[in-house]
Amino acid sequence: MTDPWSSPPPRRQDLRASRGAAGTGVADDGFESGSDRLRRVLRTRPAEPRGTVLLRSLAGTFRSDEYPQLLAEAAAGAQIPVTTGRRIAVLGTRGGSGRTTVTALLARVYASLRQDGVAAVDATFGRGTLGLRLGLDALPDVRDVSAALGGRLPADRAELGRLLAAAEDNLWAAGSGPGSEPFLPEVSSALSRYCPITVVDAGSPLTAGGILATAHAAVFVAPASVAGLADARWHARAWAADPQRARIPLLTVLGATDAASPFNAAAEARRLEREGTPAMPLSYDRHLAGGVELDPSLLSRAVRLEATGLAAGVLRAAAGTR
């Protein structure tokens, strides 16, 4: 099987081209700031050193590798038919939990594996970083998109794409703007018609009521730490006790945010599963930890598989609701 993550997205020039010649981060006067230089290094730094990749390739010559089959099975789950627009809300309570990273990962894997349209919406208060993670300078405000539509649906997918920011040919993004409703009627109808999957960076569960009212599945992201695990358990219990939210499938993602952390994200996710809380791990990844543009081709094999499995699991959950 060809690894769907092996090639960078076809449209990642927006942010880089704006930062200087050939997208290098070097201004026209030849000056490159320290922050630009660090950003350029981080966004091209692979999760796994070249030596590790080479040794694994050599080892694969002498023994079978089940990874391609596992990836193919996970990818099939992320490609299931979706008859009506499905909305996935990604939630978290702690800064640095990985909520925006997971939103970008889900959007990228769906866009990589599907031919239909995928939308990503930054609905966090203030200036979120979803656009940065998707390689976009800025995200159009949904209020501007709504005004441009003037109460009508886009004539076709191409028109919708022109109103949104294009991260890939079939992945578009928008932002809600401070205090605005991220799903105005015109925008909601347009996304549902032309984007079978919409992934929303929804902020905290305590402030995402309007988004959750129309969500088909939710992902709660917490760091694999003492505080993060406490958050995950508390929110899972509160979710199950709320009749309105309990009807929305909730999947918890435990992210390893530190390579030297004493917590094993996979082991803690299994512990939550035994307690009755559906959970999945997201291993530490040096490329993701850089906090800049996400390039799927630079992720570790473990995170590629975990991200694809997460996309499959949450889409199955979303497809099974109303």
Domain ranges of the chain: 67-319
Q: How confident is the model at residue 296 (pLDDT cuts 50, 70, 90)?
A: confident
CA dihedral 136, 138, 139, 143 (to 10 degrees): -170
Helix axes 67-78, 99-113, angle to 10 degrees: 90
Return the structure tokens found at 82.
């979706």
**pLDDT per residue as tens digits for the range 10-29:** 444 444 444 444 444 445 45
| Residue 305 confidence (pLDDT) | 95
| Beta-carbon count within 10 A of 105 CB | 28
**pLDDT per residue as tens digits for the range 119-150:** 999 988 766 889 999 999 889 998 899 999 99
Decide: 224 and 264 in contact? Cβ < 8 Å: yes
- Judged by DSSP in three states, 227 sits in helix
Residue of 170, 214, 171 lying closest to 189 (CA atoms): 214
Element (H, E) at 50: helix 50-60
Has residue 204 got a pLDDT over 80? yes
Has residue 49 got a pLDDT over 80? no
Average pLDDT over residues 63-71: 82
Angstrom CA distances, 22 to 10, 14, 52, 84, 119, stand at 16, 11, 30, 40, 27
Phi, psi of 207 (to 5 degrees): -120, 5
Give the highest mean pLDDT range of 200-209, 228-237, 295-304: 228-237
The answer to whether the Cα torsion of 152, 156, 157, 161 is positive or negative is: negative
Tell me whether strands 165-168 and 171-175 are parallel, antiparallel or unpaired. Answer: antiparallel
What does the DSSP assignment read for 165-217? EEEETTEEEEE--TT--S--HHHHHHHHHH-SEEEEEEE-TTT-HHHHTT-SE
- CATH superfamily placement of domain 67-319: P-loop containing nucleotide triphosphate hydrolases (3.40.50.300)
Q: How confident is the model at residue 32 (pLDDT cuts 50, 70, 90)?
A: low
